Structure 1
Amino acid sequence: MRADGFAVLLNTFERPDLLKTALRHYGKCRGVEEIRVVWSEKRDAPREGTAEDGYFVKKKPGLVRYDAHAESTSIQNRFEPLDDLRTRAVFNVDEDVRIPCETLYRGFKAWQKHPDALVGYYARNYAPAKKPSDGCSWRYVANEFQLWWSGKYSIILTKAAFMDQKYLKLYKEHLPDGVREYIDKGGGNCEDIAMQFLISSITREAPVYVPASLMYYTKAKLGGVGVAGISSGAGHHLKRGDCITDFQTMFGAEHIPLVETYQ
């Protein structure tokens, strides 16, 4: 198993233009040993050497492979174990996220220093619910100005994050009972929070934030306008606060396992 590179686990669903753009981008980045596309669409996965060549990296035959999940459209397919991965490090990413190549490699080097942590580019946090009537519940902190001002975070989003491939198997086999079903019934929300709960509960350590440039985040914001997805739905942040509250109970934790740290 190679240690000097990483696999890209590229999650996609019915956005072919974004997928093709992501493949062209990550196919040229330093350190990428292979790209595994998580394919949860009902139609057959693209085949290399056919008219669907746009779904591959033409100058690097064999770099891209598709892992089909014909019976499921669950967003948790992104964490399905892959027995034939060539590298210990995997980079989870959504097809609408394109981390600049140099920033991507810098993230990989950070992961090599913290191989048991979740290492990535989008930091989030949790905080007590604002209303006293909410009792012992949590809210999800996604306000980037607030995160920047406080410097505190405890969650790294897996829409762009490095991890050890061992966590894929642990997610499948060792999540507390009911977590996977809870996520699927909740409209495909919170699988990334569940992964952070799992890793933090095992390591008792904080994740690692690797910031990209301000220009990148600005362009990403502008580029995401009008792109439909889970995070654009009404009440998204409220639901994620509910997930944090419910996961604490489901993980059987008296104290929330998420570990805060400062950037």
Structure 2
Amino acid sequence: MSSAHVDIPDGSAAAATDGFYSPAKQKAANRRPNVLTIQRARQTLCAAKVKLIFAALAFSFILFASSKLSSFMGWNPHYPSFVSSPSRGGYTVMINSWKQSSVIRQSVAHYASCRSVEAIHVSWSGSEPPSEKMIARLNEVAVLKSEGAQKTNFIFNIISGDQLASRFKPKSYPNTDAIFSVDDDVIVPCSSLDFAFSVWQTAPLSMVGFVPRTHAVNKEQNNVADYRYEGWWSVWWTGTYSMVLSKAAFFHRKYLDFYAHMSPSIQDYVANERSCEDIAMSLLVANVTGAPPIWVKGKIYEIGASAIASLRGRSRFRNKCLNDLISHYGNMPLVPTNFKAVSAKNEWLW
């Protein structure tokens, strides 16, 4: 019994048709893998081009956003001519003391120990001036505590009467551009103070401080708004603020000039009202800049017992002060914000 033998063509003869071998068809078959490789290469190149275009667009967007973010956050506003550069050297601490001789020594000793403090000015307001012995002792404390770094320049300004508004009208003008205004019963750790100073240096036109407050519209009648002064709990709840109080805040020394040359009606009002000068300063800075202040995250400590903070009807009084001053300006200068400056060195959660 015979059997038929059939040869199956290998890959080189796969191009043959009808059982016949064709050199032309064989050559075409050999070219097909190369065509597929070229097509795949083109597809890969197109995909790479698309990714490159998207990457370029993303990079351009990041550059654009970065350029706009600083102005949005308030870090680099357009400064007027009087603030053309950051503060030279350190800063002056202006301590507002109101009949609290028991805490002023502790306050002076602390701020004299901070490395960037170049001078301490104490504004003493009260019916009875401090004794010569007390002033001499404070000078000794300032020099003693600053021996490790520098000799702090200590100046005592005596303000006659109970005019707290005079805290921004010192008899001797500070030499530093940066002023740190603080109440005598408020202690800010030196590390927090130095960080706030570095923040202020990036935006010397702004008011930079540790005690944020805000405002809200209470009601509106005949297109005239009545505003409500809001305390810390409103800031904590909403995350929004429009003021940083001068009880612990940096500002440029030129604002002392502006404060002294405010409208006579505003000056008279502040002079006749107790504990209204801090709102007046916040409104003044906001009116000049058209921008919000900067709240710096940091712990502050209160020592002694503040007689001003315990005044009855303080909330109602602050509402009246805010609205009366706004009426003098003729508009609302305050600008709300929810930006907060935080030191990355002290934050582990991002």
Q: TM-score range by the shorter chain?
A: 0.7 to 0.9
Q: Which amino acid aligns with 1:95?
A: D
| Separation (CA, whole Å) in 2 of partners of 1:131 and 1:202 | 26
SS at match of 2:264: coil
Alignment map for 1:79-118 (pairs within 5 Å): 79-81=168-170, 84-118=173-207
| Separation (CA, whole Å) in 2 of partners of 1:79 and 1:18 | 21
SS at match of 1:125: strand
Which residue does the alignment assign to 1:75? 164
Which one has a larger percent helix, Structure 1 or Structure 2? 2
What 5-or-longer segments of structure 1 have no aligned partner?
none
Q: How many pairs were matched up?
A: 246
Structure 1 residues 130, 178: CA separation in 2 closer, same or farther (over 3 Å shift)? same
| Separation (CA, whole Å) in 2 of partners of 1:136 and 1:148 | 24
Alignment map for 1:28-39 (pairs within 5 Å): 28-39=113-124
| Separation (CA, whole Å) in 1 of partners of 2:87 and 2:157 | 20
| Separation (CA, whole Å) in 1 of partners of 2:104 and 2:183 | 9
User: Are 2:309 and 1:231 equivalent residues in the alignment?
Assistant: yes
| C-alpha deviation, 1:42, in angstroms | 4.4
Q: Which amino acid aligns with 1:200?
A: A
| C-alpha deviation, 1:128, in angstroms | 1.4
Which residue does the alignment assign to 2:283? 197
| C-alpha deviation, 1:136, in angstroms | 2.5
Which residue does the alignment assign to 1:63? 153
User: Are 2:227 and 1:138 equivalent residues in the alignment?
Assistant: yes
Preserved CA contact (<8 Å) 1:177 1:250: no
Which residue does the alignment assign to 2:102? 17
Give 1 or 2 for the bigger CA radius of gyration. Answer: 2
Give the TM-score normalised by the residue count of structure 2.
Answer: 0.65
| Separation (CA, whole Å) in 2 of partners of 1:123 and 1:231 | 16
Q: Which amino acid aligns with 1:261?
A: T
Give the TM-score normalised by the residue count of structure 1.
Answer: 0.85
Preserved CA contact (<8 Å) 2:292 2:335: yes
User: Are 2:336 and 1:260 equivalent residues in the alignment?
Assistant: yes
Name which of 63, 75, 92 aligns with 1:7. 92
| Separation (CA, whole Å) in 2 of partners of 1:115 and 1:28 | 24
Structure 1 residues 2, 115: CA separation in 2 closer, same or farther (over 3 Å shift)? closer
| C-alpha deviation, 1:166, in angstroms | 0.4
Which residue does the alignment assign to 1:148? 236
| C-alpha deviation, 1:58, in angstroms | 4.0
| Separation (CA, whole Å) in 1 of partners of 2:230 and 2:134 | 45
Q: Which amino acid aligns with 2:328?
A: M
Preserved CA contact (<8 Å) 1:90 1:163: yes
Q: Deviations over 1:200-230 (max 9, x none)?
A: 11110100100214xx4xx54xx56xx1422
| Separation (CA, whole Å) in 1 of partners of 2:325 and 2:87 | 34
| Separation (CA, whole Å) in 1 of partners of 2:233 and 2:322 | 21
Preserved CA contact (<8 Å) 2:185 2:306: no
Q: Deviations over 1:113-134 (max 9, x none)?
A: 11011110000000011698xx
| Separation (CA, whole Å) in 2 of partners of 1:34 and 1:66 | 11
SS at match of 1:262: coil
Q: Deviations over 1:83-130 (max 9, x none)?
A: 542201010011000001100111111110110111100000000116
Name which of 242, 265, 273 aligns with 1:178. 265
| Separation (CA, whole Å) in 2 of partners of 1:23 and 1:51 | 12
User: Are 2:137 and 1:54 equivalent residues in the alignment?
Assistant: yes
| C-alpha deviation, 1:73, in angstroms | 2.6
Preserved CA contact (<8 Å) 1:119 1:207: yes
